[in-house]
């Protein structure tokens, strides 16, 4: 158990090795969260997708640097990703919610 504590660290006084280990774990968790969220959140760039990308990145960074406890950070990100998936599903099923969540599309330019 002492070896895991030494490798993982605690609090915000982490050394480079401990932050590296945390970074690897957070990277793997982020890949899993992207798979749960779907490729849409990182491809289409709607306002909802941008919110998810910013929130998940900001929250996961707290786990790497030890600013917040690891398990609550991961569970918060999982909750956000599942909520994103649910809202995306609702947007597909009901056009009204699509407009309400993403807003009205504004044409910036046409024909070049």
Q: Is the dihedral of CA 23, 82, 57, 45 positive or negative?
A: positive
3-state DSSP helix/strand/coil % of the chain, to nearest 5:
75, 0, 25
Domain ranges (residues) in the chain: 14-102
Quote the tokens at residue 69.
């406890």
User: How much is the pLDDT for 60?
Assistant: 93
Mean of pLDDT over the chain: 83
Is the predicted pLDDT of residue 10 greater than 70, yes or no? yes
Which is more confidently placed, 32 or 103?
32
User: How much is the pLDDT for 43?
Assistant: 64
Mean pLDDT of 49-69: 89
- The Cα–Cα gap between 63 and 77 comes to 11
């Amino acid at each position: 158990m002492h070896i895991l504590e030494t490798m993982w660290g605690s609090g915000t006084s982490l050394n480079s090795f401990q932050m590296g280990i945390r970074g690897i774990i957070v990277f793997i968790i982020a890949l899993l969260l992207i798979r749960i969220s779907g490729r849409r959140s990182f491809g289409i760039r709607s306002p909802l997708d941008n919110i998810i990308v910013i929130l998940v990145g900001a929250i996961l960074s707290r786990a790497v640097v030890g600013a917040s406890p690891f398990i609550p950070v991961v569970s918060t990100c999982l909750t956000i990703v599942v909520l994103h998936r649910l809202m995306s599903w609702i947007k597909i099923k009901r056009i009204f919610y699509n407009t309400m969540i993403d807003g009205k599309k504004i044409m910036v330019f046409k024909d070049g």
